[in-house]
Structure 1
């Protein structure tokens, strides 16, 4: 395999912070190259240099022995480098088709934008990924997973030689990941080079040929995946062995803290009921779009169910919940909600770490809390969560994904809530931070809290939770103890009703 491009001794600093120091990387045709490291290791910065977002302070990029440089992402794309960054870059007020052709709109004979051609090209790109989305749909109407697939389709649509996929599956479930993997295998067979950034070990060993590990902006090693195990790769990334990723399971108490009773999402769906007791972590699992998200978001007013009741500590929540005050109403009952998209729905990125944590306290009290007590609460919260930051006044936007997730958790830890509902607890989070978040959630449960988890990572649900409820067609079709669960059993349960329907 020949080198398509070579990055040689790249260094990039932002002020006094050196994000990448003297890093070299070779990308070969017909190869999938994993780029791994903890959050803040410099992976995304290195790729943004290759993609034309940043200019290196020193070092060179070579193509066929000739030095090249990129003035902008468009320049890099014209050169043949297509990028799907972890931070979704779609414009929500435009349609899928308008986003796919942004800046490259085709025109007809009279010079007007050819929307028919845009629609056709978008439909084909989406169809190649097995998507049936309507090209005229506004991006703001898409789920996080659908937006991620549109980002990927946009990248694959470009006739590029090098594809950079930065956490492409963070919002995808197992079935969607396999659709993506098929596309990656096709690109590989066509002689393309793919850089694959992910924290999911199973994907790395499934799809990649080579791995480069970075830590603190420095190149640690480049090795064939065939020479490594997940354990040895983790040790290279974090500098130590992780003896166990998941903490030991807890023991449920007697009191029910959260109950969904005779709950129907739609008039035609089957009713569902489930209870979470103090000390329990319970999951809603299943394939994408089967109703898990609507079940939990009924509690915050973002979905109106057909009927049913939700109870918190035997206190009934009046349905439907007003969307404008849903999160605040739950908070008053002792329930915290951590959304999947922490940047769009959870955090205020322009504010500091302390201000984001204080938001929960300010919205739940009527009296003014003394400033010193407020500072002490924030400090204790940050220390208990192990948030790695220069200080409480640091902007939350400057934190890694794992530390941002801890800040969101800290907002509710400072309130001493009884129930936590959390979507995708480790989305876009590195392996070391994952272990810390799992420990924090288990500690919360052990202190008598109840936790409801949604995650597309089946292994995460099995390792983290005590019980797993499998959702299909807007109802619960199976319940199993996590200790007896497996990926196969969960998928079998999620598909059983679907297969039965197709056999009739």
Structure 2
């Protein structure tokens, strides 16, 4: 079948850094083409060239056999290319409908924006994805998953022949992923070409038919997925297999370092208790929205539970915690919180890597104390975490997703925390960086630290953790050693409850 899009010998450099070196990619109608590789491999750069965000230094793009050049994103959109980037581009101060029709708002006979029609069209587009969101809702009031779906709906409703989906499911649960997959299959069956960028193996094999792998800006190869296995694909990307991603579990545990007693998420929920030992990583598993995130956020004051107490090393930290001072209070108790949304809630994107690392160190000092440079701590943290950047003074926004996540972890490792509360430790992070983060967490616990982790990737919880707590309806319904856990057993515990 003739290609719909051909990118031939594409090269791109940013300053002295080569992002792409003679990369070729062909997209055929009625196909879902996976684009894979570690962070920094060149995937997003290649797609941004196709989307008109960047211009190539060499090479050419052909659509239906005709050579094209895109000086700006608007040119690519006009050529039938729709893109949903990993970094959400929605404007939080506008409504869902205003974001979806930004720059192409329907107008009335006086030339003013026809809001009823715009809201109706937006509502219809969202309904096609199985969403019942009010199109008049401000984007600022949406969850990360809801924002992602609005972004996807925006792209899917465009009159395009090529759809680029860059990490579209990073913030979605299993049910929402299936909603998205139904839309992708519908587009595929309509003869569209879809580029699908993801680090989740199950999604790649469920939805894609072809895979192209990049490494260090170069093309490793393009293969039909029917000829591949997850292990072969991982080995193609990083040179090691799935079983090698997770470090060994703890062999000995210390005393209880965090004790949560008689905790009740809301007045209607059953109370429960759990404990965390030194040297241990425990998981909060279950279906989406069953209380896992509420439990962690209650400890830092970002959610107000109905009842419960928390003891850390014999010191009681009463609940509810203050939203204004909860995180600082926990840091004083040597407990660090790593949120799911590293860009909006974790990192200060406009500040250097060094400032982001030392944030918790400064927070632990008296407000009137003289500033301390912490150069040794910064250098040691960057070296131990193997953060790839242009230096400690580079803006943290310039780093890849995996390196940004390392910096956020490094903030609390540098501050010598005893306990880490981690939401989605590897969200939007490639396979190689995931393995590095798992090793960092195990090194932290081997030195006497402890962690509570929640993740939408069940296989991550099984491979990384020592014990798994299963939650349902805002309470604990099961507990099992991770070495004995399976995805089926965890799901069974959640559903039977």
Aligned to 1:46: 46
Aligned to 2:161: 161
Aligned to 1:18: 18
Q: Secondary structure at the match of 2:23?
A: strand
Aligned to 2:317: 317
* In structure 2, C-alpha distance between the alignment counterparts of 1:407 and 1:201, rounded to whole Å: 25
* In structure 2, C-alpha distance between the alignment counterparts of 1:105 and 1:272, rounded to whole Å: 51
* In structure 1, C-alpha distance between the alignment counterparts of 2:353 and 2:113, rounded to whole Å: 45
Aligned to 1:328: 328
- Encode CA deviations 1:404-425: one digit per residue, 9 max, x unaligned: 1111111111111110001110
Q: Secondary structure at the match of 1:3?
A: coil
Mean Cα deviation higher: 66-75 or 140-149: 66-75
Mean Cα deviation higher: 329-338 or 143-152: 143-152
Query: Is contact 1:82-1:158 (8 Å) kept?
Result: yes
Query: Is contact 2:230-2:242 (8 Å) kept?
Result: no
Aligned to 2:30: 30
Q: Secondary structure at the match of 1:295?
A: helix
Query: Is contact 1:251-1:280 (8 Å) kept?
Result: no
Structure 2: stretches of 5+ with no match in the other structure: none
Aligned to 1:176: 176
- Structure 1 residues 152-301: aligned runs within 5 Å: 152-241=152-241, 244-251=244-251, 253-301=253-301
- Encode CA deviations 1:389-410: one digit per residue, 9 max, x unaligned: 3432222222111111111111
Aligned to 2:407: 407
- Encode CA deviations 1:293-318: one digit per residue, 9 max, x unaligned: 11111111111112211222222223
Aligned to 2:121: 121
Query: Is contact 2:119-2:135 (8 Å) kept?
Result: yes
Aligned to 1:463: 463
Aligned to 2:344: 344
Q: CA deviation at 1:178?
A: 1.7
- Encode CA deviations 1:266-319: one digit per residue, 9 max, x unaligned: 222222221111111111112222221111111111111122112222222232
- Encode CA deviations 1:61-80: one digit per residue, 9 max, x unaligned: 11222111223223322321
Mean Cα deviation higher: 112-121 or 419-428: 112-121
Q: CA deviation at 1:369?
A: 7.3
Aligned to 1:397: 397
* In structure 2, C-alpha distance between the alignment counterparts of 1:429 and 1:331, rounded to whole Å: 26
Mean Cα deviation higher: 240-249 or 328-337: 240-249
Query: Is contact 1:252-1:277 (8 Å) kept?
Result: no
- Encode CA deviations 1:212-238: one digit per residue, 9 max, x unaligned: 111111112111112222222222212
Query: Is contact 2:308-2:318 (8 Å) kept?
Result: no
Q: CA deviation at 1:28?
A: 0.3
TM (normalized to structure 2)? Answer: 0.96
Query: Is contact 2:254-2:279 (8 Å) kept?
Result: no
Matched, 1:70 2:59: no
Query: Is contact 1:209-1:224 (8 Å) kept?
Result: yes
Query: Is contact 1:175-1:287 (8 Å) kept?
Result: no
Aligned to 1:500: none
Q: Secondary structure at the match of 1:24?
A: strand
Matched, 1:445 2:445: yes
Query: Is contact 1:31-1:188 (8 Å) kept?
Result: yes
RMSD (CA atoms) = 1.6
